[in-house]
Amino acid sequence: MTYQNFSLAQLQALDAAHHLHPFTDHKDLRGAGSRMIVRADGPYVYDSEGHRILDAMAGLWCVNVGYGRKELAEAAYKQMLELPYYNSFFRCSTPTPVLLAQKLAEIAPKSVNQVFYGSSGSEANDTALRLIRQFWVLEGKPEKNRVISRKMAYHGSTIAGTSLGGMSGMHDQLHGAVPNIVHVMAPYAFENAEPGESEEAFGLRAAKAVEDAILEAGADKVAAFIGEPIMGAGGVKIPPRNYWAEIQRICRKHDVLLMIDEVITGYGRTGEWFASQAYGIEPDTITTAKALTSGYQPLSALLVGDRVAETLTEKGGEFYHGYTYSGHPVACAVALANLDIIEKEGLIDRVREDTGPYLAKVLQEALGDHPLVGEVRSFGLMGAIEIVADKASRQRFEPSGHAAVVVRDHAVVSGLMMRATGDTMIMSPPLIWTRETIDTAMEMIRTALDKAA
């Protein structure tokens, strides 16, 4: 049975009848129906009606090497025939997760050398939370179990991931969060800075919100701070330049572990392997997933710093935690082939030296003066456009979020896939984009903004 035997209307009816989608109002699907994406190649995806769409989201922040990579299909095929599955429990191992762990230790920040695998970013954050709580128990400080996070953070959608995240809508539906997680102000100057406040002053104030939360709880009660180096799903919120150095200073001062969530920023997006390297952060854990395999296989890797790993190994005994698919051989083989492509094609250098700075320049030049644009910002190949009703006062449209959805819908009709989150349009294209692809995308966004104005 192939999908070609079905019309779009039939597929949409089946979709609405049987398929519960993530983050979707299902009543909507009964009306307009889903766009069926049926194939993809390079930077493009194609829908069932033959429309070619430039994918400015790399799927969901993951297809960093672009679509249609035969090397990745071949790596999966070869591994599936040789050993499709075996687990890493009970004193067994298989070679690909071992080789991948070695590679990850090589590219990660210096003091990060151990890897715990899962299948998704959410799972990896669950692992991270369990691990750091266990760490403090093993250190003889079980009361050090609180975690400081930020409003608007996204750390996944399991119960632990949602609790760690700071999305208010998700919390409203949580009905029983993991306790002892506190959310403080995000380093989001566009909305949170005071009029006239300098970037540096705002960076210090946003970091101080973390220290205040530590002091309020008592440092002896705080296990860790968790943060995305650049908030992604919350709207590509790029912190002030001094923010992370100050956060690191505060965490070290109070002996609070630093859990860095690089599910979006990992594997080249910011022009370094990890954004931690771009910002000079020395994390205790780094959560990664998505672009680890460029989305070709589900795989996450929690990278664990030496301090936590040593305590776990030396004092821990058995850690009762793991997933059937921890270290899945096929996913790990694809990850190895994917990292190889990123390296051989110099994709990270290209982002750092060429396409990243170019995106920053043309976002400003092509869109900065548009009446609907309150601000553009980018870092590496992550970009955001704030949609406003009034440029001078930064007043938003009513109802909140609607205008960005209108712009997004115009963009997709003209052949560009972007995402709207709240009042912000965001992009995170594959790292294979060139200056020409960026120019094409800018024209399409400008047209979409004009139509929405």
Q: Which residues bind ligand PLP (CB under 6 A)?
A: 120-122, 125, 154-156, 228, 232-233, 261, 263-264, 289
Tell the smallest beta-carbon distance from residue 291 to ligand PLP (Å): 11
Tell the smallest beta-carbon distance from residue 281 to ligand PLP (Å): 15
Contact 46, 37 (CB under 8 A): yes
Tell the smallest beta-carbon distance from residue 22 to ligand PLP (Å): 8
Tell the smallest beta-carbon distance from residue 184 to ligand PLP (Å): 17
SS3 225: strand
User: Cβ closer to ligand PLP: 188 or 358?
Assistant: 188
Distance CA 122, CA 158 (A): 6
User: Cβ closer to ligand PLP: 233 or 342?
Assistant: 233
Q: Which residue has the tokens 């609607």?
A: 402
Contact 434, 397 (CB under 8 A): no
Tell the smallest beta-carbon distance from residue 49 to ligand PLP (Å): 28
SS3 118: strand
User: Cβ closer to ligand PLP: 420 or 448?
Assistant: 420
CB-based burial label for 192 (10 Å; 0-12, 13-18, 19+): middle
User: Cβ closer to ligand PLP: 156 or 374?
Assistant: 156
Which tokens sit at 19?
Answer: 């398929």
Written as one letter, the residue type at 384 is: A
Residue nearest to ligand PLP (CB): 121
Tell the smallest beta-carbon distance from residue 368 to ligand PLP (Å): 27
Tell the smallest beta-carbon distance from residue 152 to ligand PLP (Å): 11
User: Cβ closer to ligand PLP: 114 or 120?
Assistant: 120
Distance CA 42, CA 418 (A): 17
Cα 258 to chain centroid, rounded: 17
Written as one letter, the residue type at 375 is: E
User: Cβ closer to ligand PLP: 263 or 334?
Assistant: 263
What single DSSP character describes residue 259? E
Distance CA 207, CA 202 (A): 8
User: Cβ closer to ligand PLP: 382 or 404?
Assistant: 382
Q: Which residue has the tokens 């306790």?
A: 179
Torsion of CA 395, 400, 404, 406, to 10 degrees: -120
Cα 24 to chain centroid, rounded: 19
User: Cβ closer to ligand PLP: 94 or 428?
Assistant: 428
Preceding peptide of 43 cis, ω within 30°: no
Dihedrals φ, ψ of 41, to 5°? -155, 130
Helix, strand and coil content of the chain, in percent to the nearest 5, comes to 45, 15, 40
SS3 287: strand
Distance CA 136, CA 148 (A): 15
Contact 374, 387 (CB under 8 A): yes
Tell the smallest beta-carbon distance from residue 377 to ligand PLP (Å): 18
Distance CA 129, CA 134 (A): 9
Tell the smallest beta-carbon distance from residue 109 to ligand PLP (Å): 18
User: Cβ closer to ligand PLP: 66 or 227?
Assistant: 227
Tell the smallest beta-carbon distance from residue 150 to ligand PLP (Å): 11
Tell the smallest beta-carbon distance from residue 60 to ligand PLP (Å): 6
User: Cβ closer to ligand PLP: 263 or 337?
Assistant: 263
User: Cβ closer to ligand PLP: 171 or 446?
Assistant: 171
Q: Which residue has the tokens 């965001």?
A: 426
